[in-house]
Structures are given as structure tokens and as C-alpha cells.
Structure 1
Amino acid sequence: MSSQVQVNYRKYDGTLHWNLRMRRLGEDEHGVWLGLPADSVMRKGDGPEVPIECAHVALFPRGTWWTAVFNAPPRSTEVYCDITTPVEWVSPDEVTMVDLDLDVLRKRAGATLLVDEDEFAEHQVRYGYPADVIAQAEAAGRWLMEAVGGGAEPFGTAYRPWLAMVADGTAG
């Protein structure tokens, strides 16, 4: 049976943002893969549970300024990348990172979008993002637009076997 991992996205001031428990599926050259079956839940901060209708897997790569979620159909967003500080494994059962607002997503219909630029600009002021954090986030956004839009791995097919593990219920 796979172990449970607490996933904690935080804002730059340390406040808890999106958080959930996911199943550890495994690790490959892209990073650590966690998954959730359909009809799971997550929370924003300490708020109420938010239902997650479709199965999905999350990739937590090493040393990058992003994380990625890959959603099963019929969810209209196939790939959703959060631009974040590099992930920190607090323990084998907990991963955390700072959400830097910008997101890159690929719709199942094919469009790749960079979103939340207004929130990124607002939070640069509110939280006082240092210049190097702004530069890293912007560079990650540019790289992701090309990689996700072009179907480079892990955004091409590498995620599919991991997603199948939670979509068909084989992940303990």
C-alpha cells in the first residue's frame, strides 16, 4: 500500500494555501509522483473541504520553480502547473513550497495559457518578493509555456501511467 503525503502550498508570508493528502505513487527522472482518485478533497488554508471530482496526479520535481498536476477527463484542464519555489521535503510524508501565483495550464482542447499575472504583480508588492524570486518565477513561466505547449516531457505522455494508477484504482 502506498503511503500518504501531506502537501502544503503556502503563500510567501508563510500562510497555508492549498493543502491536501495524496498517495505516494513513485519516483522517476522527473521527480516524485503523488496521486488522488476521483471524489477526493482538498482545502484552501483552514477553510472547508473542496471536492475534487476527477482523478489526478501531481509531480514534484527536484530543484525547479514549478509543480504540475495532470487531470483525468472529463476535467477541461489537462495540465495545471503552479509556479512555486523549489519543493522542500520536510519529511518523507510532507512536502511544501511557496505558491508564486503564476500558473501555466493546458486545456484539453489544446490551448496553453499563462494565468494570474495580475495576482503575481499584486503579491510582489504585498509580500515584497525579492528580485531574484520574481526573475525565477518569470523564467519558469516562460519555460513552462514552451514545454507544456510543445508537449515536452513530462507534459507529453510521461504522466499517463501514473494517472492510470489512480484513475483505475490500482494505487493502494
Structure 2
Amino acid sequence: MGDRRPGQRVRCEITKWGDRPHWSYEGVWLGADEHGEWLGFPVGTLFARPGHRFVTAHGQVGLVPAAVDGTRPWWLATLHGEGAGTLPPLAGEPVALYVDMTTPARWDGTTLCAVDLDLDVVGDVHGRVVVDDEAEFAEHQVLLGYPAEVVAAARASCAQVLAAASAGDPPYDGTHRRWLAELARISASNEP
């Protein structure tokens, strides 16, 4: 956790393989629990990548998973509050969960860095969970030259996250609501 403290601004720099730019956004460090470190993205947070940008209309929290047996998992999760947007793999249903398969995240000061590996586990507010971007993952294995061990780690991570999220196992059991409340508290205390 280093010197991070609740309410501290953090930056997230998520690239694609080969150090290609992808998502860049800012948030606040909320705290940590047995699941890992929680980041908050309040209403109005700008998410930007080459060719696309959007501003959040609802609060959401991110989870940087804790290391398991000394190894950081190959994913980053975003869990949404009320009023979440919709995505095509969920046929217009509001998104509750979005887990990106990534290389193990690392901190560089207050900047979180990871490489997005295409595969996503996406869940709706009714508990339906699907895997998205499998075609992109297959294409990028060739186009971007993912090493075999990276492909295997992303697939294994995706299968583990899909099983846990489908079963509603922690941290996909509503644990994030505590952190959404913390985000609301910190956001309210920062208002003029």
C-alpha cells in the first residue's frame, strides 16, 4: 500500500501490449481490505483512450486485487453503483461488474499501471455474467504477439473470475457497497 491514504488522488495508466496507449483516468484511493486496494471514481470522472472518451454519470469503485501466495492476480475489477451504463454483451442491461484481464498491476508512486489483455468478465444488475472480447483476444495474440505464458495466464484468470463472479463469491458479493459509501463520503467532503 505504500504511503497511499484515503482520499489521495491516484492515476490509472492502462496500456495495450507493446506499450500502446489505452485507458487513462484519475480517481481516489479509498482504502484496503482482504480483497486488495479499493479506488474510487466519482461522478464526472473522465476516462480517455485514443479515439474515445467518456465521463462517468455514476460512482464506481475499482479493485486492485491483493496478492495470493505472493503473486498478484491478472485482473482489475470495476464495480458500479446505481445507474450504471449498458454494454452490448449484456443486451442493454445495466452493468454492475466489469473485470479486465490484465498483467499483474503495479504501482509507480500514485500511478497504477497494467497492460490490458482484452478479455473481460462483465456482469449485469441481475447477476448474469459473460465473457467479452474473446475475438479481440484471439486477434491480438497474433497481431500483438502475446507470449504463450501471457495467453495462458489471461485465460486462467478469466476462468477464475468468471466462476467467482457467477457464484457471487467475494469480492463479487456486494463487498464493494462499503467502498461506494466511502467514495460518497470522500466526494461529499471535497465539495466546496
Deviations 1:50-90 (A, max 9, x none): 21111000001130000000011121110110000000111
Q: C-alpha distance in 2, partners of 1:58/1:171? A: 20
Paired position in structure 2 for 1:35: 40
The secondary structure found in structure 2 opposite 1:106 is strand
Contact preservation (8 Å) 2:25, 2:45: no
Deviations 1:120-149 (A, max 9, x none): 000000111011100000001111111011
Instruction: Spell out the pairing of 1:46-125 with structure 2 (5 A cutoff).
Output: 47=51, 49-62=53-66, 63-75=72-84, 76-91=94-109, 93-125=110-142
Structure of higher RCO (CA pairs closer than 8 Å, 6+ residues apart): 1
Q: C-alpha distance in 2, partners of 1:20/1:171? A: 21
The secondary structure found in structure 2 opposite 1:110 is coil
Q: Supply the RMSD in Å over aligned alpha carbons.
A: 1.5
Higher fraction of strand:
1
User: What percent of counterpart residues are identical?
Assistant: 35
Q: Does 1:18 align with 2:27?
A: no
TM-score w.r.t. the length of structure 1 is 0.93
Q: Which runs of 4+ in 1 moved over 4 A?
A: none
The one-letter code matched in structure 2 to 1:64 is: P
Question: How many angstroms does 1:48 deviate by?
Answer: 6.1
Question: How many angstroms does 1:6 deviate by?
Answer: 0.7
What are the ranges of 5 or more consecutive residues in structure 2 without an aligned counterpart?
A: 1-5, 67-71, 85-93
Identify if the C-alpha distance between structure 1 residues 2 and 137 changes in structure 2 by more than 3 Å, giving closer, same or farther. same
Paired position in structure 2 for 1:137: 154
What are the ranges of 5 or more consecutive residues in structure 1 without an aligned counterpart?
A: none
